[in-house]
Structure 1
């Protein structure tokens, strides 16, 4: 991931509704949620939610597909992983044991969904 892409990704998540929407979609993987359902659960007007989802999609955080009359959004977990890896890639300065807590967090995520 390039620095400019990382900045754009972080900028997309730096707004409360967008961050909440992304976290909601992560919890609903792999099925995803319809745009209207996301708006309802977050108590956001539909047109406002559509604008937020468009920002997240342009930044790579979500993907969408049409299902009948609805648009179903899903979290892009590969993008999330790439972004986290971008953050920790150089943090260890040659000492990988420093970053072990970050690699263990993916195990925690998988266990918390059981």
Structure 2
């Protein structure tokens, strides 16, 4: 896990600061490492497939989500690296508050 700077932390936190992306991320976190296809994300979130694709692209870009091809489907899963790195960054910066 790479150490974050403020710019990277803002990108990750910014991605999660949007309601639909946070819901998608939490759905993927609940699904575990095996992940789920975009179609199921769309059906579970009441978002259109194009909207889900838009939000997934941002989550993948920030490292919060990864994708893999399985047959004709793209399977998405939450990663621990992105969220762990931002939590470690915040924890390190806020250690003096304890």
TM-score (norm 1): 0.80
Q: What is the CA-CA distance between 1:74 and the residue it aligns to?
A: 0.7
Partner of 1:20: 23
Aligned length, in residue pairs:
95
Between structure 1 and structure 2, the one with the greater Rg is 1
String of CA shifts for 1:34-86, please: whole Å, max 9, x gaps: 01101110010001100000011111110000101110001011211111111
Q: Which runs of 5+ in 1 are unaligned?
A: 99-114
Over aligned residues, Cα RMSD in angstroms? Answer: 1.1
Write out per-residue CA displacement over residues 17-40 of structure 1, whole angstroms, 9 at most, x where no aligned residue: 100000010001111010110111
Unmatched tracts of structure 2, length 5 or more: none
Confirm or deny: 8 A CA contact 2:12 2:82 kept in the other structure. Answer: no
Q: Distance in 2 between matches of 1:57 and 1:45?
A: 18
What is the SS of the residue equivalent to 1:89?
helix
Q: Which structure carries more relative contact order (alpha carbon 8 Å, separation 6+)?
A: 2
- 1:111 aligns with none
